[in-house]
A and B are shown apart, each in its own frame.
Chain A
Amino acid sequence: MTAETLISALFVFVLATFAGFEVITKVPPTLHTPLMSGANAISGIAVLGALIIAGERDWNVTVILGLIAVVLATINVVGGFLVTDRMLEMFKKKEAKA
C-alpha cells in the first residue's frame, strides 16, 4: 500500500461516512429494529475481504482464517437479509389486518 492509495482510500472513506450520516433521517420507531437488521446485513460486506484472503490455491493459515471468515460473514449476510425480510413481512400483515 503506497501513501497515495492510502490517501485516496481515506477520501473514499470520509465521503462514504458523510453519505451514511445523511441517508437516515426520520425513522418511525417500528422500523428501528428492521433498519438496524438491514444495515447489519450490509455490514456483512466483510465477506468480500474474506473471499479475497481465502482465494489462494495453497493451504496456509491465511487461507484457513479466510475460509472461517467466509462462513461467518455469509451467515451474517444471508441470515441478516432474511431476518429483515421476515420482520417487514410481519408489519405488512399487521397493517392489512388493521
Chain B
Amino acid sequence: MSEFLPTGIQLSYLVAVTLFFFGLKKLGSPATARSGNLWAAVGMFIAIVATLLNEEVLNYEMILVGIVIGSVIGAIAAYKVEMTAMPEMVGLFNGLGGAASALIAVGEFWRYLSAAQTPPLPTTITAVLGVLIGGVTFTGSLIAFAKLKGIMSGSPIIFPLQQPFNLALLIAFVAGSVYICFSPFNLPVFLGIVGISLILGVLFVIPIGGGDMPVVISLLNSFSGLAASAAGFVVMNNLLIIAGALVGASGIILTIIMCKAMNRPLTNVLFAGFGTGDTGAAVASGSG
C-alpha cells in the first residue's frame, strides 16, 4: 500500500469528511435531519468515486459488480422493511459493516503472509484490533437482530460460570494476539483469534434482554465505527480513520443519551442480565 494518496483524492476525502461532520450535526435536530442524511450520503458517494480513481484499484469490473449487488440488496432491504422493524434492520446493516471491517483486516494481513513478508508491527496490531472489533460487531449485531426479530428468545441467556468463561476467552484472545505479533506466520493461531472474536460478539449480547437491544445496537454502531477506523490504520487511509472515529465517538455519546432517556446507566443495561446482588438491587431501585 502506498502511504500517501494523490492530492486530488485527498482533497475529495476532505470534502467528504466535512460533509460527514455537518451531516451528523444536522441529523441531531428535527428541522435539518433529512438534509443532514443527504449530505452524509453525498459525502459517501464522493469518497467512493475518489477511491475508485486510485491507481491501485485495477479490478474495476469485479468491484462494480460487487457495488451493484450490494446496492440492490441494500435498497430492497431498506424499502421492504416495516417501519416497526427499523431498529433490527439498522442492527443487521451495522453487523455487515463490522464484518466488512474485519474482512479488510484479515485480507490485508493475508496479503503479507502469502507474499512471505513479515507485516510491520503496527499493521499486525491494528489488524488484530480490526478483527476483534469487527468480529464482535458482526456476531453481536446478528444476535441483536435475532432477538428483536423474535428468531431467538428476547430474555437474557445466562449459563453457569459465564463471566469466568468470557474472561478466559478474552485472555486467550490477548495471548493469541501477542503471539501473532511476534510470529505472524502462524495461520491457525490467526484464524483462532478470528474465531474467538466472533464468539465474544455472541457472548456479549446474549445476556442482555430484548428490550435493551436498541441501546446495544447503538453501542455496536459505535464499535463498527471503531472497526472501520482500525481498518483505516491497516490500509493507511485517512478518511477511514476519521469517519470511523467520528462514528465511534458520536455513537458512544448517542448510546449514553439513549440510556439517560431510559433513566439507567449504560453499565446497568449491559450487565443487568447478571442479576447478582448489587446490580439486581440497582435495577430494583432504578425502577422503584
Chain B nearest CB, measured from A7 CB (Å) = 10
User: What would be 11 A-B contacts, judged by CB atoms less than 8 Å apart?
Assistant: A12-B242, A48-B237, A49-B235, A56-B56, A65-B110, A69-B99, A72-B103, A75-B74, A75-B77, A81-B44, A83-B78
Query: What residues on A are CB-neighbors of B87 within 8 Å?
Result: 33
Contact of A39 among B86, B235, B242, B251 (CB under 8 A): B251
Interface stretch, picked from B157-165, B222-230, B271-279, is B222-230
Query: Does B40 count as interface, using CB distance less than 8 angstroms?
Result: yes
The CA of A88 and the CA of B92, in the complex, are separated in Å by 19
B123 near A54: Cβ-Cβ < 8 Å: no
Query: Does B199 count as interface, using CB distance less than 8 angstroms?
Result: no
Contact of A62 among B34, B38, B77, B108 (CB under 8 A): B108
A36 near B251: Cβ-Cβ < 8 Å: yes
A81 near B37: Cβ-Cβ < 8 Å: yes
Query: Does A96 count as interface, using CB distance less than 8 angstroms?
Result: no
Interface centre among B62, B67, B90, B247 (most CB of A within 10 A): B90
Query: What residues on A are CB-neighbors of B23 within 8 Å?
Result: 38, 42
Query: Does B70 count as interface, using CB distance less than 8 angstroms?
Result: yes
The CA of A17 and the CA of B225, in the complex, are separated in Å by 10
Secondary structure at chain A's binding surface: helix, strand, loop or mixed? helix
Interface stretch, picked from B25-33, B143-151, B176-184, B280-288, is B25-33
A47 near B245: Cβ-Cβ < 8 Å: no
Cβ contacts A19-52/B at 8 Å (1 or 0 each): 1110111111111111111111111111111111
B30 near A28: Cβ-Cβ < 8 Å: yes
Query: What residues on B are CB-neighbors of A72 within 8 Å?
Result: 70, 96-97, 99-100, 103
B37 near A76: Cβ-Cβ < 8 Å: no
With an 8 Å Cβ cutoff, the count of chain A residues facing the other chain is 82
A12 near B238: Cβ-Cβ < 8 Å: yes
Query: What residues on A are CB-neighbors of B78 within 8 Å?
Result: 78-80, 82-83, 86
The CA of A30 and the CA of B24, in the complex, are separated in Å by 15
The CA of A48 and the CA of B52, in the complex, are separated in Å by 9
Interface centre among A37, A38, A68 (most CB of B within 10 A): A38
The CA of A41 and the CA of B48, in the complex, are separated in Å by 13
Query: What 5 pairs across the A-B complex have the smallest Cβ distances?
Result: A74-B70, A20-B249, A79-B74, A78-B74, A82-B78
Secondary structure at chain B's binding surface: helix, strand, loop or mixed? helix
Query: Does B71 count as interface, using CB distance less than 8 angstroms?
Result: yes
Query: What residues on B are CB-neighbors of A83 within 8 Å?
Result: 77-78, 81, 86, 89-90, 93
Query: Does B196 count as interface, using CB distance less than 8 angstroms?
Result: no
Query: Does B233 count as interface, using CB distance less than 8 angstroms?
Result: yes
Query: What residues on A are CB-neighbors of B56 within 8 Å?
Result: 52, 55-56
- If A1-B120, A52-B235 touch, whether A32 touches B254 (CB-CB below 8 Å) is yes
The CA of A66 and the CA of B234, in the complex, are separated in Å by 13
A26 near B59: Cβ-Cβ < 8 Å: no
- Shortest Cβ distance from B255 into A: residue: A36
- Shortest Cβ distance from B66 into A: residue: A70
Contact of A41 among B40, B101, B120, B261 (CB under 8 A): B40
Contact of B107 among A40, A66, A75 (CB under 8 A): A66
Query: Does A98 count as interface, using CB distance less than 8 angstroms?
Result: no
Contact of B44 among A44, A53, A67 (CB under 8 A): A44
Taking A60-B114, A79-B74 as given, write out 11 further A-B residue pairs in contact, using a Cβ cutoff of 8 Å, ordered by the A residue number.
Answer: A31-B30, A36-B214, A46-B101, A50-B104, A51-B51, A55-B57, A63-B107, A70-B66, A74-B67, A78-B71, A82-B78
